[in-house]
Chains A and B, each alone.
Chain A
Amino acid sequence: MSALAAILIRDLRALWRVGGGALVGALFFLAVMVLVPFALGPDLALLRRIGPAVLWLGALLASLLALDRLFADDAADGSLDLILMGRAPLELVVLAKAAAHWLATGLPLVIVSPLLALMLDMEPAAMAATALTLAVGTPALTFIGVIGAALSVALRRGGLLLPVLVIPLAIPVLIFGVAAAAGAPSFGAPFTILCALTLFSAVLGPFAAAATLRHGLE
């Protein structure tokens, strides 16, 4: 298991030090949320009502931003060859890489979301509910995203395909995430389904991505 811990720590260090992955996503999220009130005008009731949906939309797009580097960097510098020659099961390696990616890029979005909710004049309860659904739901976006990231490595010049491939798969997460945030404080069925989507994608994503990486050997 130390091999997986090594992957996790290396990816976290690389993402944080370069400053690219982690902060670019959070800044993009901030930019979208700053622009929304300007686009919609100072109708506080409207902003408050659509706040959870806008936060979820921004978080979804922000988490797509850094995804294409997930395997592309390792493929470009030759690390992927050596990773494939290791003894750790590739599915678990993908899971470790996805976990590192979420910690570096997804978690900052969850943490800043209450601050950005202030700009949308959201109630404290709605803020907390949205942050909670983001914390539960954004890992699903990462786990679905690893499939697209692996495909974009296997198919050369697949980087452009990534959003096209991932967004349709992310739609259920968006629907149930927004529904769960809007249904606060009694979360009910949408929140349960959101949790199920995250758990389901945590299993499916690494297996699909590992199969794609193996098949894409050339």
Chain B
Amino acid sequence: MMRLMATGLACERGGRPVFSGLDLAVDGGQALAVVGPNGAGKTSLLRVLAGLLPAAAGRVSLAGGEPEASLPEQTHYLGHQDALKPALTVKENLAFWTAYLGGAGGAADGPLASVGLSALAETPAAYLSAGQRRRLSLARLLAVRRPVWLLDEPTAALDAAAQAMLGGLMRTHLAGGGIMVAATHGPLPVEGTELRLGGAPS
């Protein structure tokens, strides 16, 4: 059983403490929704967990994962930005991330069909709408299997149908023993515990 743990986590941005003394534990198959007002540190928490932001104190660990790989190498991070190159087509963008992140290679068609972008496979990413860009980012999570998903506002820019599709993807991920931590303002499409970050210190 996998378990993502953080103990005594603290984070500072620009000399200002964002949060401190934060403990969390998420077991495989569980989802954790991080909620709180703007500036409460939801994105900072996800970036600390992803290893993209150094923690001022505390530590993050993953038990039961691949012993050879570090936590960031077993983690998908879906940030506010979609990490797409506008000059490349939808398929090329996905194929690049699949190859770079170490996916099973080749088959971009399956993930693209799952997120409903098959018809746009040869379109340059520059012509996608915000919601379509988001769908393409989600396809990355399917193309490369990684047990930990850190999602920052995953439903942003998605229409109702895409949110339902995302709910299905999340349920499949959790049913396979995956771990999910999502920062969100609205309700998550799946059951999960909630971590409330306090108001922003003025």
Residues of A within 8 A of B (CB): 2-3, 5-7, 9-10, 13-14, 17-18, 73, 76-79, 81-88, 217-218
Per-residue contact bits, chain B 144-181, to A (CB 8 Å; 1 contact, 0 not): 00000000000000000000000000000000000000
Q: Is the CB of A78 within 8 A of B85?
A: no
B interface majority secondary structure? loop
Task: Find the A residue at minimum CB distance from B82.
Answer: A78
| Complex interface residues of chain B between 44 and 102 (CB less than 8 A to chain A) | 50-54, 69, 72-73, 75, 77, 79-85, 87-88, 92, 95-97, 99-102
Q: A10-B92, A10-B96, A84-B72 are in contact. Are A77 and B101 (CB under 8 A)?
A: no
Q: Are A86 and B100 in contact (CB under 8 A)?
A: yes
Partner of B83, one of A3, A6, A7, A77: A77
Bound CA–CA A14/B81 (angstroms): 18
CB contact under 8 A between A18 and B87, given known A81-B79, A85-B52, A87-B73: yes
For the complex of A and B, the 8 pairs showing the least CB-CB separation, nearest first, are A78-B81, A6-B99, A17-B87, A78-B83, A85-B72, A79-B83, A10-B96, A3-B100
Assuming the contacts A2-B99, A3-B100, A218-B53, asked whether A82 and B77 have C-beta atoms less than 8 A apart, the reply is yes
A84 closest partner in B (C-beta): B52
Contact residues in B for A7 (Cβ distance below 8 Å): 100
Size category of the binding interface on chain B: 20 to 34
Contacts of B84 in A (CB 8 A): 77
**Interface residues of B, Cβ cutoff 8 Å to A:** 13, 50-54, 69, 72-73, 75, 77, 79-85, 87-88, 92, 95-97, 99-102, 105
Would you list 22 pairs from A and B whose C-beta atoms are within 8 A, ordered by A residue?
A3-B101, A6-B99, A9-B96, A10-B92, A13-B85, A13-B87, A13-B88, A14-B85, A14-B88, A17-B87, A76-B81, A77-B84, A81-B50, A81-B81, A82-B83, A82-B101, A83-B100, A84-B52, A84-B72, A85-B52, A85-B75, A217-B53
Q: If A10-B96, A77-B85 touch, does A86 touch B73 (CB 8 Å cutoff)? A: yes
CB distance from B96 to the nearest CB of A (A): 5
Whether A81 lies near B52 (C-beta < 8 A) is: yes
A217 and B83 contact, Cβ closer than 8 Å, known pairs A7-B100, A86-B100? no
A3 to B80, CA, bound (A): 24
Give the residue name and chain of the B residue nearest to A4 (CB): B100
B125 → A minimal CB distance (Å) = 10
* A33 CB, nearest partner CB in chain B, Å: 29
CB closest chain-B residue, reference A7 = B100
What A residues does B83 contact at CB under 8 A? 77-79, 81-82
Closest to B96 in A: A10
Determine whether the beta carbon of B88 is less than 8 Å from that of A217: no
A87:B87 contact, CB within 8 angstroms = no
Distance of A23 Cα from B4 Cα, bound (Å): 48
The minimal Cβ–Cβ distance linking B148 to chain A, given in whole angstroms, is 11
Cα-based distance from A2 to B105 in the complex (angstroms):
10
Q: Are A13 and B92 in contact (CB under 8 A)?
A: yes
Extra contacts, 17 of them, besides A86-B101, A217-B53 (Cβ < 8 A), are A3-B102, A6-B99, A13-B85, A13-B87, A14-B85, A14-B87, A77-B83, A77-B84, A81-B52, A81-B77, A82-B97, A82-B101, A84-B51, A84-B72, A85-B51, A87-B101, A217-B52
